[in-house]
């Protein structure tokens, strides 16, 4: 099935829109559109409505740029959290992932991406500019830079570091090392090398 025109302009348009989503090509888009059709109008209407709401009603937390129902997100509104720590992450999924570990009780700062010149994303496209002021005003003592272990993540981490290093705070990064459950022989050299350089007191390794 090549680029044959579909039997209906409505179908063609929906396939075109669905195929703009990441990881969905034209064939998958046709499969999704036919599934929506096969499931009947209610199914499609409900999906369309939920995407409509997503596009128009979702807000961004004015403090941390996390997705939110209101001006300040649930996490920023929770005063029981540790206001001395801010964790800088790429996007909302990272907030979810870190919340899931149960190991961090501070606040977040969502950059909304990483610096990636190839994709046309520069520092001005990220929420970095307001971070130093936020750190100063909130009595933050430590910023944990929790960005992806990629070239783009490292570049962004260094940019964030430069913006903060004049402040009297600790700036830390996620530990890189051999993953729990991983065999040493399958770890790549850089990760294994880093995990030797950054070795920890044995008692620490007993903590979950």
Tell me, residue by residue from 23 to 42, as one string, x for binding to a copy of itself by CB under 8 A and - for no binding. Answer: x----x-xxxxxxxxx-xxx
Cβ distance to a copy of itself smaller for residue 20 or 207 = 20
Residue 51 touches a copy of itself, criterion: CB under 8 A: yes
The β-bridge relationship of strands 59-60 and 67-68 is: antiparallel
Query: Among the candidate windows 95-103, 130-138, 155-163, 177-185, which touches a copy of itself by CB under 8 A?
Result: 95-103
Element (DSSP H or E) covering residue 67: strand 67-68
Distance from C-alpha of 26 to C-alpha of 128, rounded to nearest angstrom: 36
Query: Least distance from C-beta 187 to a copy of itself, angstroms?
Result: 23
Query: Among the candidate windows 61-69, 81-89, 175-183, 193-201, which touches a copy of itself by CB under 8 A?
Result: 61-69
Distance of CA 40 to CAs 14, 16, 35, 36, Å? 15, 20, 9, 7
* 111 alpha carbon, distance to own chain's centre: 8
Cβ distance to a copy of itself smaller for residue 75 or 171 = 75
| DSSP bridge pairs for 131 | none
Residue 122 touches a copy of itself, criterion: CB under 8 A: no
Cβ-contact 182, 124 below 8 angstroms:
no
Number of residues assigned to the chain:
208
Q: Which residues bind a copy of itself (CB under 8 A)?
A: 1-2, 4, 6-11, 13-14, 16-18, 20-23, 28, 30-38, 40-59, 66-69, 73-75, 91-93, 95-97, 99-100, 112-113
């Amino acid at each position: 099935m090549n680029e044959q025109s579909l039997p209906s302009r409505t179908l063609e348009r929906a396939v075109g829109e669905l195929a703009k989503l990441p990881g969905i090509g034209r064939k998958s888009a046709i499969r999704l559109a036919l599934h929506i059709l096969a499931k009947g109008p209610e199914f499609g209407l409900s999906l369309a409505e939920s995407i409509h709401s997503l596009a128009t009603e979702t807000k961004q937390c004015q403090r941390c740029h996390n997705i939110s129902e209101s001006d300040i997100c649930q996490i920023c509104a929770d005063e029981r959290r540790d206001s001395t720590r801010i964790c800088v992450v790429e996007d909302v999924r990272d907030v979810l992932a870190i919340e899931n570990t149960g190991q961090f009780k501070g606040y977040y700062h969502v950059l909304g991406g990483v610096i990636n010149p190839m994709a046309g994303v520069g520092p001005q496209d990220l929420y970095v500019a307001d971070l130093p002021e936020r750190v100063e005003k909130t009595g933050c003592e430590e910023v944990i830079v929790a960005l992806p272990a990629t070239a783009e993540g490292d570049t962004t981490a260094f940019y964030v570091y430069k913006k903060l290093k004049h402040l009297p705070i600790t700036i830390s990064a996620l530990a890189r090392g051999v993953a729990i459950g991983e065999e040493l022989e399958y770890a790549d050299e850089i990760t294994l090398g880093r995990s030797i350089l950054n070795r920890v007191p044995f008692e620490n390794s007993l903590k979950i």
